[in-house]
Amino acid sequence: MTWLPADFVHPVRVALPGHHHLRPISGADTELDYPAVMGSRERLWSIYGEAWGWPVATMTVEQDRADLVRHADEIAAHKSFNHALFDDAGTALLGCVYIDPPEKIGADAEISWWVVDDRVGTELEQALDALVPQWIAEAWPFECPRYVGRDLSWQDWPALPDLA
């Protein structure tokens, strides 16, 4: 299976319980994304830092905007997906879900997600944890998705053989 079928249409809004939703991120979200990321930076670095080198302690608003524009371009090209978690009013960015082509053998997608520090352990995080695998199974064309940080730790992920 290739990364995605040519006729695949990615979801543009996914509702979560409790007046929240996921939607593709864009550069226009920088003012909400930057404080969410930097406010949870130490924990996010402990998750993604070794694998992705993100988020660096010195990240500027401009660097974040460039990163979000890159994500939006990748979404438009169906190269990878970053769906941000918002309150229904769109006034707070509370986390992200990453859906990427596999870098390691044994999966047809690599998926991870996070919530901001003050939502860790809450009903919102639990709802996202329950939603993501169900959403991937129902709305995405993957046969063998890998949930990095869930069914495989970020510490074990680098040891997998690279996809040729």
CB 54 within 8 A of CB 64: no
In tens, the pLDDT along 109-129 reads 999 999 999 999 999 999 999
Task: Specify the DSSP class assigned to residue 109.
Answer: E
Separation CA 108–CA 102 (nearest Å): 6
Q: Please, what CATH class does the domain formed by 14-153 belong to?
A: alpha beta
pTM for the structure as a whole? 0.96
- Whether 2 has a pLDDT exceeding 90, the answer reads no
Separation CA 72–CA 83 (nearest Å): 10
Range 19-40 average pLDDT: 98
Q: pLDDT tier at 1 (50, 70, 90 boundaries)?
A: very low
| pLDDT > 70 fraction of the chain, expressed in percent and rounded | 99
Separation CA 96–CA 83 (nearest Å): 6
Task: Specify the DSSP class assigned to residue 163.
Answer: P
CB 101 within 8 A of CB 109: yes
Range 72-82 average pLDDT: 96
**Domain edges within the chain:** 14-153
